Structure 1
Amino acid sequence: MIALLTVAATAEAKNKKKGKPPAKGGDKSASAAPAHPVLDAAFGDAYRKIGLNPRQYGQLVELVQKFAPQIGKVQADLDSAYTKEQSELIQRSREMAIRAGVPRERVPLHIARTVETLELTDEQKQQLAQAKAAKAAVERDFRAEAGEFLSKEQLQKLLGQANGKTPLKKKK
């Protein structure tokens, strides 16, 4: 989720820099929620498939924008834990996955596999552990605030799809 929200923060910053308003329109067949560059970057089209009402849609946009600086800092901490060569290897892994046609929401899983193969020093492992703890705290806070206006099922579908996972299905 952090990687996807980082992309969202970048998209929002670019739009603000260019003075562009959020995009309007989008795929109306998915839902009544209009397309938004920040939400598209963070969640793909998952947010349009969970049945957001206009109030929830606005709150989700605000929440993603609110968490963008925290997410950017956490991502920077994660990135700084790797050497230049390791970062380049991770970036190549991302590019190869995209070129191979891996769905956007599953790219972080391919990157995670690459990271597992890296030989890390004890200092890097400690720095990564701290960054991952900060990432978990940001995700927990995001879930808590999103849970105030989204139903449990909506939140689960939104974040499950954003993390490249299939949402859990209820047993009958």
Structure 2
Amino acid sequence: MSIEEKNMLLMKIANAYGGLDMADADVLRRMMSGKYRSKDHLIEIEDKFFSNCKAKGYDEKTSREIWWQMESFAGYSFNKAHSASFAVESYQSLFLKTYYPLEFMVAVLNNYGGFYNRKVYVNEARISGGNICLPCVNQSVFNTSIQDKDIYLGFDCLLNLEGKLAHRIIEEREANG
């Protein structure tokens, strides 16, 4: 049975047995698979499921067992294609971080992503042997750049510096030195 078929089965059980409409059943599916983080909303749907079961006269023990089985199943409902994609991306990131740590940190900084504050990535680059240079009128570009072991923070790091002005600084330097 494919993951999509299993997800549809979970929704059908929530609908047919638990009396949830298909919209709530879909929210339940997403919540149980970890794609939705609102604990309060999950509790609200769980309460609705059990009150519907009670109204239908179902045995509470049986209803709890069905709910438990749906929760247990949901842990296995992550799409395999997504898992494979994350594995490839994780491997590539680990390879780059291991063999090209400075370049990797510059890329993370320029991606404006990551779990941590940008300061953490700058510090990680420093620990990895990078020489961190503050934004420099003569060397920096808009984003963070790297030259050998020198990492020049970009003009985008400067608080309240408009992007247009940052680009004009670069254009002026290229035109007139």
TM-score by structure 1 length?
A: 0.31
The structure in which a higher percent of residues are strand is: 2
Higher RCO (CA-CA < 8 Å; seq separation 6+): 1
